[in-house]
Copies of this chain bind each other. A is one copy, B any other.
Amino acid sequence: MMINIMDKLYGRVEKRGVVCVGLDTSLDYIPNHIKEDKTSSEAIFEFNRQIIDATSDIAACFKVQIAYYEALGLEGLLAYKKTLEYLREKDEIIIADIKRGDIAATAKMYAKAHFEGDFEADFITLSPYMGMDSIEPYIPYLENGKKGVFSLVRTSNKGAEDIEYLDTIIGEKVYHVVGDKLMEMGKNMISKCGYNPLGGVIGCTHVEEGKELRKRFSSMFFLIPGYGAQGGKAQDVAMYLNNGNGGVVNSSRGILLAYKKQNREKDFALCAREEAIRMRDEIRKAVDSL
Contact = CB atoms under 8 A, between A and B. Distances in A.
Contacts of A167: 168-169
Contacts of A127: 99, 101, 127, 129-130
Contacts of A130: 127, 152, 155, 157, 159-160, 163-164
Given A72-B113, A72-B117, A133-B157, 16 more contacts: A65-B109, A67-B113, A70-B109, A71-B112, A73-B117, A73-B119, A74-B77, A129-B129, A130-B157, A130-B160, A130-B163, A131-B155, A131-B159, A134-B159, A163-B174, A168-B174
A34 interface: no
Interface in A225-239: 225, 230
Interface string A91-127: 0000000011111111101101110011100000001
A257 interface: no
A121 to B, nearest CB: 12
14 contacts: A24-B105, A24-B106, A67-B110, A71-B110, A71-B117, A73-B81, A74-B81, A75-B118, A99-B101, A101-B127, A130-B157, A130-B164, A131-B162, A166-B168
Nearest to A75: B118
Of A74, A107, A230, most B-chain CB atoms within 10 Å: A74
B174 A162 contact: no
A67 B100 contact: yes
Give the interface centre of A74, A129, A169 by most chain B CB atoms within 10 Å.
A129
A132 interface: yes
A112 to B, nearest CB: 4
A98 to B, nearest CB: 9
Contact of A65 (B106, B114, B162): B106
A103 to B, nearest CB: 5
Contact of A159 (B68, B117, B132): B132
A70 B113 contact: yes
Contacts of A162: 128, 131-133, 177, 181
A158 interface: yes
A55 to B, nearest CB: 21
